[in-house]
Amino acid sequence: MVDCLEDYWIKNSTRFPLVTKIVLNQDNGPECSSNRTQYIKRIVEFSMRYNLEIELAYYPPYHSKYNPIERVWGVLEQHWNGDILDSRETVLKFAKTMTWKGNNPTVKLVEKPYYSGVKLTKTEMSIYEKCIKRHPGLEKWSVQISPERCRQVLSKEKATS
């Protein structure tokens, strides 16, 4: 997810010169959970690299009806309904030609390998936990990342190690 976000930001940031904060509404699936160490590390690095505040706002379980991407998936399923999805090219063709609210999506095949089981150690993750702010009572559902705070934490950690 961070690779796609970065790709989008590199191509489109000039359209949004005043944007200093991005809110990501997420479904709390295993790939983008606020407890997934690699995801938190990579989104913190993105925040610092582009000097953007990031807020991760998670939908609670079983509330997919509020998540717009679920409606997009439904449209895509109807668009390819009954067709045989026997190749990567076929899937990409359907994804590129579907429409949602009159728009075609931007579709990009990411071929970079992502390995399962890659995690930060507890010590490493404890450093990244200092970079982020979890709201009391909503620790799992709302996470704020400030690039300034991250830089301070990481420079302090470097100085002490």
76-92, pLDDT tens digit by residue?
999 999 899 999 999 99
Q: How many Cα atoms are found within 13 Å in the side-chain-facing hemisphere of 19?
A: 13
Residues lower than pLDDT 70 in the chain: none
What's residue 101's pLDDT? 87
What's residue 13's pLDDT? 96
Strand partners, 54: 22, 145
Positive or negative torsion for Cα 123, 128, 132, 138: negative
Distance CA(41)–CA(35), nearest Å, equals: 10
What's residue 157's pLDDT? 86
What's residue 68's pLDDT? 81
Strand partners, 22: 54
Distance CA(54)–CA(48), nearest Å, equals: 10
Question: Structure pTM?
Answer: 0.86
Q: Residue 101, Cα to own-chain centre: how many angstroms?
A: 23
- Indicate the DSSP class of residue 60: P
- Contact status, residue 47 vs residue 54, Cβ threshold 8 Å: yes
Distances (CA, A) of 150 to 44, 47, 87, 128: 7, 9, 42, 8
What's residue 4's pLDDT? 92
What's residue 90's pLDDT? 94
List helix spans (H) across the chain: 2-12, 37-50, 68-79, 88-97, 122-131, 147-160
Q: How many Cα atoms are found within 13 Å in the side-chain-facing hemisphere of 18?
A: 0
